[in-house]
C-alpha cells in the first residue's frame, strides 16, 4: 500500500510540475505583500525570532510548495470513497437528514422583498456573497483524515464557514444553510484544493495563518471581489467569517522576546485588515469566531495523552505554561471584542459581530468520561466533518441570538436544535 501511494504521489507530482512549467504562475503573493509595505529579506536561520523572518527570499520556492500541497490533496481525493467509509465507521460524519424531513426553519420570511439599506435590517436571505478568512480550520485541513498523516490535506468545500459542497442534509455548513434562503448565494468553496480563485472562490483561508496575516487576506479578498463579474460591490450584501488566532498562541507567541510587542503587532494588523475591508467592501457583515479558553482546552487534551500529543498540537503553551503567557493569551482572546466595539467599525453598512462558540469545550467533547473523538480529526486540534457541521450550526444559531454556552444539546444534535428567524426576531444579530 505504501509503495502504491508513493507511485501515485510521484505521478501526481510529475504531472503537476509539468503543468507549472507550461504555464508559469505570476508571483501574486509577492506583489501583494509589496503593496502592503512588506519586503523580502534574506533567510537567516539565526534570526528567526521576533517575526524577523516573516517574508524571506525562500518565497521563490512557493510554487514547489503549492505543487506538493496539490499533489498530496489530489492523492487524498483519489481515495475519497475509502476516506468517507473510514470516517463513517469512526462516527466522524454527520448523521444524514432524510429527504422527507424538512429544514427546521420556515424559509418563506428569510429574504426581504427589497434589499435593505441598513445592516440592522439584514435577513439571512439578503446575503448574496459569502467569504471566509482563517487558518487550517477554515481551510478544512484534516476534515476527512484517516490518520494523523492526512491532517494536512484540505477539504475547504466542507468547511463550516466557507464551504458549499453538497447540501445541508449531508454537509451542514453556513453557506449550505444560507443557500436555502438565497439559492443564488455565491462565494463558497466547491472543492478541496488550495485557495485558488476558481474553486475556492472567496474562502481564502490558509494553513498556519496568524493574525498578522489578516491584511494580506483582506487584500486578496478585496481584489477577488472587485474583479469578479458576479459581484455587485455596491448592491450585494456580503458576509465574511473570520476564525484566526490558534497559531498565534500555539506556534508564534514563544518566538517573541517581548510579549507586549507581539500583542501590539497582532492588534495593529487586525485593525489594519478591518479598516481595509470597511473602506473597500460596501455592505459587509463580519462574523468573528472567538478563540476557546486555551487553558481549559489544553487541560482537557492533557487527560488523553494516548490520543492527543500536546507538543505537536500547541508547542508554545506546553513549553511556556506560565502565568504571564496565559495573560497574553487572554488579551489576544479579548482583542476581537475590543475591535468590534470601536465606533469606527459600526456603520449602517458595516459591522463586526463576535461569536463565542467554544467556551464550554468540556461539556461538548467529554462523553461518558472520555473524549468524544467524533468531533475531531486525528490530531485532536482540527474538526472532523461532524465537528464542522456542528460548528456551522452553532455559528448559525449565534447569528440569531447570543448562545447559552452551557447548552450542549445543539452540539450533539445540530439540526434538531437550530434557531430560526421569527416574526419577533427576523433580522441577523448585530450586537
Domain-wise residue ranges, the chain: 57-412
Q: The pTM is what? A: 0.89
Does the pLDDT at position 197 exceed 70? no
User: What is residue 27's predicted lDDT score, i.e. its pLDDT?
Assistant: 58
Nearest-CA neighbor of 430 among 400, 405, 392?
Answer: 400
pLDDT at site 90: 93
Per-residue model confidence (pLDDT) at position 14: 35
Of the listed ranges 205-214, 241-250, 320-329, the one predicted with least confidence: 320-329
Kindly list the distances between the CA atom of residue 221 and the CA atoms of 163, 261, 273, in Å, as whole numbers in the listed order.
Answer: 16, 28, 11
Banded pLDDT at 362 (limits 50, 70, 90):
low
Selected residue with higher pLDDT from 308 and 429: 429
Q: Among residues 308, 315, 417, 293, which one has the least CA distance to residue 363?
A: 293
Domain 57-412 fold is Rossmann fold (3.40.50)
Instruction: Assign 344 a pLDDT band (cuts: 50, 70, 90).
Output: very high
For the chain, what is the mean pLDDT? 84
What's the average model confidence in pLDDT over 163-187?
Answer: 97
User: For 269-290, what is the mean pLDDT?
Assistant: 98
Q: Please classify residue 73 by burial: count the beta carbons closer than 10 Å to its beta carbon, then call 0-12 exposed, 13-18 middle and 19+ buried.
A: buried
pLDDT at residue 273 greater than cutoff 50: yes
Measured distance CA(145)–CA(400) in Å, rounded: 32
pLDDT, residue 5, reads 39
* 174 vs 158: CA distance, rounded Å: 10
Determine the Cα–Cα distance for residues 215 and 220; give it in Å rounded to an integer.
Answer: 9
The least confident of 125-139, 141-155, 225-239 is 141-155
Phi, psi of 51 (to 5 degrees): 70, 15
The confidence score (pLDDT) of residue 23 equals 38
Distances (CA, A) of 376 to 29, 133, 185, 391, 413: 32, 21, 29, 11, 16
The pLDDT, as a whole number, for residue 411 is 63
pLDDT at 317: 78
Residue 178 Ramachandran class (φ > 0 left, ψ -120 to 50 alpha, else beta)? alpha
Of 204-208, 229-233, 416-420, the one with minimum mean pLDDT is 416-420
* Helix or strand (DSSP H, E) at 238: strand 237-243
pLDDT digits (tens, 9 = 90+) for 21-69: 333 344 566 676 777 777 777 877 777 788 876 777 777 777 777 777 7
Centroid of chain to Cα 336: 15
Amino acid at each position: 500500500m505504501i509503495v502504491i501511494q508513493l507511485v501515485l504521489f510521484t505521478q501526481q507530482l510529475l504531472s503537476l510540475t509539468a503543468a507549472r512549467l507550461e504555464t508559469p504562475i505570476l508571483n501574486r503573493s509577492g506583489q501583494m505583500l509589496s503593496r502592503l509595505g512588506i519586503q523580502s529579506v534574506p533567510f537567516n536561520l539565526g534570526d528567526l525570532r521576533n517575526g524577523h523572518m516573516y517574508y524571506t527570499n525562500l518565497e521563490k520556492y512557493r510554487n514547489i510548495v503549492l505543487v506538493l500541497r496539490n499533489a498530496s490533496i489530489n492523492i487524498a481525493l483519489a481515495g475519497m470513497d475509502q476516506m468517507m467509509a473510514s470516517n463513517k465507521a469512526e462516527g466522524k460524519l454527520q448523521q444524514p437528514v432524510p429527504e422527507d424531513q424538512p429544514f427546521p426553519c420556515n424559509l418563506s420570511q428569510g429574504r426581504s422583498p427589497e434589499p435593505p439599506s441598513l445592516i440592522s435590517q439584514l435577513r439571512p436571505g439578503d446575503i448574496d456573497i459569502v467569504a471566509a478568512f482563517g487558518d487550517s480550520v477554515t481551510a478544512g485541513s484534516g476534515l476527512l483524515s484517516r490518520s494523523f498523516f492526512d491532517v494536512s490535506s484540505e477539504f475547504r468545500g466542507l468547511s463550516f464557514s466557507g464551504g458549499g459542497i453538497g447540501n445541508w442534509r449531508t454537509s451542514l455548513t453556513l453557506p449550505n444553510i444560507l443557500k436555502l434562503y438565497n439559492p443564488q448565494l455565491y462565494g463558497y468553496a466547491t472543492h478541496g484544493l488550495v485557495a485558488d480563485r476558481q474553486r475556492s472562490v472567496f474562502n481564502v483561508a490558509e494553513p498556519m495563518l496568524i493574525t498578522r496575516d489578516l491584511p494580506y487576506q483582506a487584500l486578496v479578498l478585496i481584489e477577488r471581489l472587485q474583479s469578479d463579474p458576479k459581484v455587485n460591490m455596491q448592491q450585494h450584501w456580503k458576509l465574511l467569517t473570520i476564525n484566526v488566532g490558534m497559531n498565534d498562541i500555539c506556534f508564534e507567541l514563544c518566538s517573541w522576546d517581548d510579549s507586549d510587542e507581539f500583542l501590539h503587532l497582532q492588534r495593529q494588523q487586525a485593525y489594519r485588515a478591518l479598516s481595509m475591508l470597511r473602506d473597500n467592501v460596501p455592505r459587509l457583515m463580519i462574523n468573528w469566531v472567538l478563540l476557546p479558553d486555551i487553558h481549559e482546552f489544553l487541560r482537557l487534551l492533557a487527560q488523553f495523552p494516548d490520543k492527543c500529543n500536546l507538543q505537536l498540537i500547541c508547542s508554545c503553551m506546553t513549553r511556556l505554561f506560565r502565568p504571564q503567557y496565559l495573560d497574553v493569551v487572554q488579551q489576544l482572546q479579548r482583542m476581537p471584542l475590543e475591535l468590534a466595539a470601536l465606533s469606527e467599525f459600526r456603520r449602517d453598512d458595516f459591522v463586526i459581530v463576535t461569536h463565542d462558540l467554544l467556551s464550554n469545550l468540556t461539556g461538548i467533547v467529554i462523553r461518558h468520561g472520555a473524549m468524544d473523538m467524533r468531533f475531531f480529526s486525528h490530531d485532536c486540534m482540527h474538526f472532523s466533518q461532524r465537528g464542522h457541521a456542528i460548528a456551522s450550526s452553532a455559528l448559525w444559531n449565534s447569528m440569531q441570538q447570543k448562545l447559552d454556552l452551557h447548552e450542549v444539546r445543539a452540539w450533539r444534535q445540530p439540526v434538531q436544535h437550530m434557531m430560526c428567524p421569527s416574526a419577533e426576531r427576523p433580522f441577523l444579530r448585530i450586537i
